Amino acid sequence: MTVYTLVLISVIRYMTVVHSASTARYRTAARVVAMIVAIWCLMLTVNVPVLTTYRAVTDELKVQKVA
């Protein structure tokens, strides 16, 4: 997931250097944080089935509930 964050940062830097004036409204701190949060949520949503299918998530939750 951090790779996607780095890609987003690279895209924002590209926009800043190449299209500075026309993309200024997209480069506010609040929008950048919102984009990062959106990427993290999207990647978590996409990767949860993969993690559970390959049993990357352990049975620690079941142990905690029983004990």
The pLDDT, as a whole number, for residue 47 is 84
pTM given for the model: 0.63
**pLDDT tens-digit series, residues 31-64:** 989 988 999 999 889 888 877 777 665 666 555 5
**3-class secondary-structure state, position 1:** coil
- Retrieve residue 38's tokens: 């959106």
Place of tokens 């905690």: 64
Per-residue HEC secondary structure of 26-47 comes to HCCHHHHHHHHHHHHHHHHHHH
Residue spans per domain, the chain: 2-66
pLDDT given for residue 22 in this prediction = 86
Where is average pLDDT lowest: 3-7, 21-25, 63-67? 63-67
